A and B are shown apart, each in its own frame.
Chain A
Amino acid sequence: AQSVTQLDSQVPVFEEAPVELRCNYSSSVSVYLFWYVQYPNQGLQLLLKYLSGSTLVESINGFEAEFNKSQTSFHLRKPSVHISDTAEYFCAASGAGSYQLTFGKGTKLSVIP
Chain B
Amino acid sequence: AIQMTQSPSSLSASVGDRVTITCRASQGIRNDLGWYQQKPGKAPKLLIYAASILQSGVPSRFSGSGSGTDFTLTISSLQPEDFATYYCLQDYNYPLTFGGGTKVEIK
- Whether A and B are associated in the same complex: the answer reads no
**A contacts, CB < 8 Å to B:** none
